[in-house]
Every structure is written in structure tokens, then in C-alpha cells.
Amino acid sequence: MKKLFLFIFVFTLSFLNAQKFDAYQFFDKKSKKISAEKMVKELSNYDVILIGEHHDNSINHWLQKKITEAIFATKNGQIILGAEMFERDNQQALNSYLAGKIDPKILKDSVRLWKNYETDYRPLVDFAKDKKLKFIATNVPRKYASQTSKQGIKTLNELPEQEKKLIAKLPIEVTLETPGYKEMKSLMGDHVDELKLMNFISAQAIKDATMAESIFENLQAGKTFIHYNGDYHSKQYGGIYWYLKKRNPNLKIAVISVFESEKPELVLPEKDFIPTEFNLVIPSDMTKTY
């Protein structure tokens, strides 16, 4: 009986040990595993950190906050925050909230908040508020992206000068040589005519260029700018990264890219994979926030 009990105990223990319940794993540019602690230490030496995200992934958002808190501690508070999820014309209301002049309800009524703001982005904004940090609304107002997608990027030249200030300085270079944009073309297929295709890609480009300009104009010597954006806006060194490097090739920029894995050991993709400074792998069945 004792032998049977011991066998069952050992078998159960072995079975449990064989199960993988890892919520995330970071890899460096050489595709080697790296601890979050070591990664944070290295990140603190960069001018800009572009943290990619899958918008609906809970662990992704939790890690953004933990990384931000850790870099804040490492750099003695010398950080600036910014996000795709806030548009340039909402900066004044966001500043009022950060300064404690308006409450969360008034902010909600004044700013075009994403539907997952409360669970996923408010913790970051409130961290900035508590620590008296700048939080920059970096993105272009969505109506201009929509206009570009429907009517073309050249129509932005017809806007009043005051509205043009909400967009990256015109003209904005749009090229399929930018990483990611060529992929967008292939995903859309051959059934879309060239004009519609370029309008669609240009709409993406004015977002990327405006976010890059917003980051660039708010850089401060000795401070690290941490930016939160959808992974597509910085993956493979495209998007925001590409436009930042056009402005200043000497900027030290770290990109954290995101991948999902169906395997319990959380491995990087086997093909079509271009590693950035750091690469986050999360379970494909991780809880979604919406």
C-alpha cells in the first residue's frame, strides 16, 4: 500500500512539474532568454523605449506598468510617458487630469478614451499623475487618419494651419520600403487598386509619423521616453521607429516586440521573425480584456 501511495505521489508530482504555466518570457535580440530584471537595467540606458502591445492582452498591459515602475525606480524618476491611445488634441484635458484639476469623469467626457481605458491604460495615467510625470498624447486625431484613408494624404495640405499642428509636419514621406508597410500591401492582396492601397498605408503612416514627432519634440536630456503602442507601429523597426530615426539617426531606441505562442514553453516564431532589442512571448490563450 505504501509503495502504491508513493508511486501515485511521484507520478502526480512529475505530471504537475511537466505542466507549463508561464505567463510570459522575454528574449533578447539574439533570441536568448533574458530576465525582466536584466532587461530593465539595459532599457534604462535608452533615449526612447517603444513598448509594443496586443491591445486586448491583460498580461501585456500588466507588464507595461511593471516595466515602467521598474525603470522609474532605476532612473530616479527621470522618465516621460506617452501613448498611441491619446490624440494630440486631447493633451490639454489630459494635462488637467494629471495636475489634479479635473476628476476621472470629466476626463472621460473630455477625451476620446479607448474602451479598455479603465482596465488597461488608466493605471499608467494614474502612475504618471501620482509621480508627477509628463504623459504625452502622441497620436494624430483619428479624423485626419480617416480623411487620409478615404481621400488621400495630399488633402491634408488643404487644412487650416491650426489643424495642421495636430499632424506631423507635412509633407510626410510614405514608402513601401518602410518595414511593415510592404506587409500591409501583401495582406490586402491584389484586389485593391493602387490608389486605395496607398491611401490606406498613408493613413497608417501619418499615425506613425505623428507619434514619432510627438516623442521627438518631448525628449529631454537624461530622461527616457517610454511609449506604449500597438506592436504593429514598431515591429521590425518600422513605423514609429523608422520615423524617429529619420529625425535623428543617433537616437538610442529600444523596441519591445510581442508574439503569441501556442506552446507551453513560450517560444519565439520559427519563421518570418525579425528580433528587436527585446521580444516578449505570451500565451495565445492569455485572458483578453475585451
CA distance 177 to 228: 24
Cα–Cα distance between 270 and 30 in angstroms, integer? Answer: 14
Cross-strand partners of 57: 288
52: nearest Cα among 186, 167, 180: 180
Amino acid at 259: F
- Our measurement of the distance from residue 96's CA atom to the centroid of its chain's CA atoms, rounded to an integer in Å, reads 24
Which domains does the chain show, CATH number per domain?
A: 21-139+213-283 (3.40.50.11550)
Alpha-carbon gap, residue 15 to 4, rounded angstroms = 16
What are the two backbone dihedrals, phi and then psi, of residue 223, each rounded to the nearest 5 degrees? -110, 145
Q: Is 35 helix (H, G, I), strand (E, B) or coil?
A: coil
Q: How many residues does the chain have?
A: 290
- Are residues 119 and 65 in contact, defined by beta-carbon separation less than 8 angstroms? no
Residues 122 and 140: their CA atoms lie apart, in Å, by: 20
Calculate ∠ Cα 287-121-58, nearest 5°. 10
> Splitting the chain (290 residues) into consecutive groups of 10 residues, what average pLDDT does each group show?
50 51 95 97 98 96 98 98 98 98 96 96 98 98 97 97 97 92 78 85 97 98 98 96 97 97 92 93 92
pLDDT on residue 15: 45
| pTM of the full structure | 0.92
